Amino acid sequence: MWTFIARRLLAIPPLLLAVTFLTYCLLYAAPGDYFTRLMEDPQVTEEYMAALRTKYGLEGGLFERYWAWLVNAIQLDFGDSFRFDLPVFDLIAERLTNTLLLTGSALLIAWGLALPLGVMAGVNQGTWLDKGASFISFVGLSIPRVFFALLMVMFAAVTEWFPVGGMRDQIYWDDFTPWEQVVDVAHHLVLPALVIGTTSMAGYMRQMRAEMVETLSKDYVRTARAKGLSRRQVVYKHAFGNAVNPLITLFGYSLAALLTGSFLVEVVFAWPGLARLTVDAVFAQDEPLVMAAVLVATLMLVAGNTIADLLLAFVDPRIRLE
């Protein structure tokens, strides 16, 4: 186990180098930079533009600029955002917390619904329960996430049961007690988490159903039934542990998928998350912010895959990570 973890840790630096260098190449190849728009002002001189680019490290070649960024990043100094004029680390930390709250809640909804519904559909193959679960998954796979988000915004506006957007009450937030602030954030969280969670749940549920149907036809399951074990013991003690293995492998990728797939939902619901911040930074060519956000997203993907492998070894004793 520890050997596996050590190998994964040793693989992280080369991966980060490759991803960040490729990202920097794309930013370098893009026409202009963040300060190019200032040239539209006739009062801005070439000397002032050159001084700005020198101050923020935008002079020099590709390798020289990347090396300067890398040396600072190793020291956990990601610079200041061009757009916000604030330390990048502080911006990323605040937005990452918001995104993890949203994607974590969506993850609980997705897997909390997908596993029991998939098992129920697989065990009761061909019944109305199976057809109902299949219909739910069909709807979840068919409806675009952004359209579903817009429907939920309209639902919130018509019923006034939920806030239309944002993460907190903009008027009375400072007057709330700590518990009231928690309740307020949870109230704002319901609809965006529900949109991401239910649309992600459909694919996992279909996968769980397919694995369950295949596992229940195995010889060892039939043997367990022949021994007189109860249906519950056959399903949850013998079949479920093997059927869930492929979904545990998907768990690591679901973290990255939820992170990237939450962007449109964050825009529709005005949720102040990392995905929205990253895309805005790309369009603004805010180089320090883009590089730090890509670095964090890559680390989340690596962490998700490692967690998935460890969970797989924990659930299935036949798998030995060594």
SS (H, E, C) 8-73: HHHHHHHHHHHHHHHHHHHHHHCCCCCCHHHHHCCCCCHHHHHHHHHHCCCCCCHHHHHHHHHHHH
Across the range 273-288, mean pLDDT stands at 81
Domains of the chain: 2-74 (no CATH), 93-315 (1.10.3720.10)
pLDDT digits 0-9 by tens, 47-59: 767 777 777 767 7
Q: Identify the residue with better confidence: 281 or 307.
A: 281
Of 27, 8, 186, 196, the closest CA to residue 110 belongs to 196
**For residue 321, pLDDT beyond 60:** no
Query: Residue 318's pLDDT band (boundaries 50, 70, 90)?
Result: low
CA-angle at 184, arms to 180 and 186, nearest 5°: 115
pLDDT at 110: 82
- The winner for highest mean pLDDT among 41-50, 250-259, 260-269 is 260-269
Residue found under tokens 């809640």: 105
Given a contact cutoff of 8 angstroms between Cβ atoms, the answer to whether 277 and 121 are in contact is no
On the CB side of 253, CA atoms within 13 Å amount to: 8
Q: What is the pLDDT of residues 205-259, one digit of tens each?
A: 887 787 777 777 777 767 767 777 666 677 766 667 667 767 776 766 666 666 6
pLDDT in tens, 87-123: 888 888 888 888 888 888 888 888 888 888 877 877 7
Cα dist from 27 to 47, 62, 207, 310, 315, whole Å = 23, 10, 38, 36, 43
CA–CA dist 201, 211 (Å, integer)? 15
Which one-letter DSSP state was computed for residue 92? H
Candidate ranges 73-77, 168-172, 310-314; pick with highest mean pLDDT: 73-77
Look at residue 40 and tell me whether its pLDDT is greater than 70. Answer: no
Which residue, among 102, 120, 66, has the nearest Cα to 194 in the 3D structure?
Answer: 102
Q: Report which secondary-structure segment, H or E, holds 189.
A: helix 178-216
